[in-house]
Amino acid sequence: MKQLGHLYRETVEKLHQAGIEGAPTDALHLFEFCLGATREQLVLHPDREVDEQQAAFLEETVNRRLSREPLQYIIGTREFWSLDFLVSPAVLIPRPETEFLLDRVLGVLRRTGAAGQPILDMCTGSGVIAVVLAREKASDRIVAADCSAAALRIAARNIARHGQKGTISLVCSDLFGALRPGPHFAAIVANPPYIAVGDIDSLQPEVRDWEPRSALLAGKRGLDVIERLAGEGYHYLIPGGWLFMEIGADQEDEVYTLFAGREEGIYDQVEVLRDWAGKPRVLQARRKAG
C-alpha cells in the first residue's frame, strides 16, 4: 500500500506533466473527494497508508482530470459567492466574472430603490445568479429561464439546496418565447452565450471539450443571443427597469452600439463596465422611464 504523502506528490506530478494549471490545488481537491484527506491531514499524517480500493478510486478519478475533464464536474460542485453549487456537464461552471456581474446588479438595485421588485434571470444555467439574488434579498420574486431542461434540473436542485424554492420560479424557454408578454420586471440579468463559433478551437480543453456548447456559442460573431436580448428585452422591463448582461471582453464596442445606438431610443444610461481584471465584462442599460 502507498502512503498518503507519496500518492499526493505522484498525483501533482502527473497533473503538472499534463499541463494542468494549479496542479497542487487540483490534487488537494481530488484527495479530499476520493480519500477524505484534507490539507491538514496531508501535512500531519503523510505516512498514512491508503488501501488498494481507495487508491484505485483515486487513480480512476485522477485519470478523468488528466483527460481534461473539469475538476468541478468530477467532484460535482463549484464554490461561488462563498456557497457550494451543484454542477454537471449540463451547465456552465460558474466563474468569477459572474460574481462581478452580480456585485454590480446588487449595487445598482439597492442604490436606485429597485430591490424587492420582480427580476428575470435569463439563461440561468445552474441557477447561481437567481439563488444569489434571492439570498441577497434583491427580490422576493425571481423568474429563472433557460432553454435546456437538463440545466433547469440542476438549477432546481440548487434552488432547493439553498432554500429558495418559494422565491424562484423556473421556466423552460428559448429566451422570451415562453414568457408572458408585458413589462413585468424591474431588472433582467443574463449570462448569455457570447463566444463566436470560429473561436471554439482556441478555448481551453476543459471548456472546448466538456462545457455545453449551447451555453457557449452564439453564431459567427458571438452576438446572436445578445442581439435578441437588446431587441426584445425592453418589452419585458418596466419603465426605468435595468438590463445587466455579461459579455465577451472583445465585444465592448459592438454591444454598446446595440443598446445605445437603437433607433427606438428606448435605452439610456448605457455603460460597459470593466471587471476586477480591467476587462470589459458587463453591459448595463436602463429602459427609459416614461
pLDDT, one tens digit per residue, over 108-140 is 999 998 889 999 999 999 999 999 999 999 999
| CATH number listed for the domain at residues 2-67 | 1.10.8.10
What pLDDT is attached to residue 264? Answer: 80
Beta bridge partners of 185: 237
What pLDDT is attached to residue 115? Answer: 87
What pLDDT is attached to residue 46? Answer: 83
- Per-10-residue mean pLDDT of the chain, 290 residues long, equals 88 95 95 92 86 93 97 97 97 96 96 92 98 96 98 98 97 96 96 96 95 96 96 95 96 95 88 95 92
Let me know: does 257 contact 226? Beta carbons within 8 Å.
no
Beta bridge partners of 84: 79
Let me know: does 4 contact 35? Beta carbons within 8 Å.
yes
Chain segment 186-203, per-residue pLDDT in tens: 999 999 999 999 999 999
| Nearest alpha carbon to residue 186 among 111, 286, 268 | 286
User: What is the rounded distance in angstroms from the CA atom of residue 290 to the CA atom of residue 89?
Assistant: 43
**Domain boundary assignment for the chain:** 2-67, 90-287
| CATH number listed for the domain at residues 90-287 | 3.40.50.150
Q: In which order are the strands placed within the sheet that holds 142-146?
A: 168-172, 142-146, 119-122, 185-190, 237-246, 280-287, 267-274
User: What is the rounded distance in angstroms from the CA atom of residue 172 to the CA atom of residue 64?
Assistant: 31
| Nearest alpha carbon to residue 66 among 117, 15, 119 | 15
Let me know: does 273 contact 104? Beta carbons within 8 Å.
yes
